[in-house]
Amino acid sequence: MKFWIGVTDKSWFDYLAARRPDEVNFWQPGGTSVFRALQPGEPFLFKLHSPLNYIVGGGFFLRHSFLPLSVAWDAFEEKNGTDDLESFQFKIEQFRRQNYQRDPIIGCIVLTTPFFFSEKEWIPAPSNWSRSIVQGKTYSTEEPIGSSVWAEVMKRISIATDGAMISEEQPLYGIEYQTRARLGQGGFRVLVTEAYNRRCAITRERTLPVLEAAHIKPFAKSGPHKISNGLLLRSDLHKLFDLGYMTITNAYAVEVSKRIREEFENGRDYYAMHGSSLNLPSNSLYIPSREYIEWHNQEIYKS
């Protein structure tokens, strides 16, 4: 098994360790380098900046995505490691300096089931860790040093997660992990956004700040954070979908309720969408589940 040891700031670690979220955004201030070191489901460990050369926690890699800073904040909020958007912007500005823009594109490494070690449990950096490493390094449990580090992590991890490890008989990696991992709201938004190729499922709009990951069966009604329970919708369509003025059929077509005209004496632009086919994910594992579609049609849609 491969795992990555990534270098991070102690203030970011301390902030999140105090809150113990269900997911974190291990962000990168630049928006150019794609993170390719891990498959979904493989471990990502946190190592503090020198002189604190210790592994202090980690999580499980879900997805890397480039997002505008404002969208990353909307998706993860405090799980970015700051109190508010202004503080987040300030941190990014410190790293980007003269290259800073009002709403820059940043790298987002989404990690699920994060774990945080108490200081007495911190693990010394690997013996072959070089001072020249800036971002991180890949290790393998098939090699002596990697095996030794991972053994130390496993001694601590069940305590750090309160037993909330991925409960599978065999480890899951790749796309299967994305469909079965316990997603948080931020991970759900990122995965749905990427599954729909950053296009609204109905209009194919690509302006990312107005696109939202909609639950077909609402989370508040026990709808899961699963890609198959999601649609990427323009914000106004998301609102109409949640209120029951719009739905989708088992044939993946758009259906618009006559109640828009009856209640608001309008809706021409929305009725033009009636009967149109959805822009579906290319991966069949991500296509909306008919179970959730039928629930929405029966419980939410205003026929």
Whether residues 206 and 168 fall in one domain: no
Using the structure block, give the residue that is written with the tokens 């999580």.
59
| 3-state class (DSSP) for residue 281 | coil
The SS3 of residue 158 is: helix
Q: Give the model confidence (pLDDT) of 27-41 as tens digits.
A: 999 877 899 999 999
The string of pLDDT tens digits covering residues 7-18 is 999 999 999 999
Q: Judging by beta carbons within 10 Å of its beta carbon (0-12, 13-18, 19+), is residue 106 exposed, middle or buried? A: buried
Range of the domain at 280: 199-299
Whether pTM > 0.85 for this model: the answer is yes
Are residues 163 and 284 both part of a single domain?
no
C-alpha distances in angstroms, 53 versus 102, 150, 199, 232, 296? 34, 16, 42, 41, 51
**Residue 6 confidence (pLDDT) above 80:** yes
Sequence letter at residue 102? R
CA-based radius of gyration for the chain: 21
Domains contained in the chain, number: 2
Q: Clarify whether residues 6 and 151 are in a common domain.
A: yes
How far apart CA 19 and CA 78 sit, in angstroms, is 9
**pLDDT tens-digit readout, 160-184:** 555 455 444 456 788 888 888 889 9
| Residue 193 included in any domain | no
Provide the token pair at 199: 């296009």
The CATH number linked to 136 is 2.30.130.30
Task: Please check whether residue 47 is in contact with residue 56, taking contact to mean a CB–CB distance below 8 angstroms.
Answer: yes
- Spell out where the chain has E strands: 2-8, 23-28, 43-48, 54-68, 105-116, 123-124, 136-140, 211-215, 230-234, 246-248, 254-256
On whether both 151 and 29 belong to a single domain, the answer is: yes
- Specify if 191 maps to a domain: no
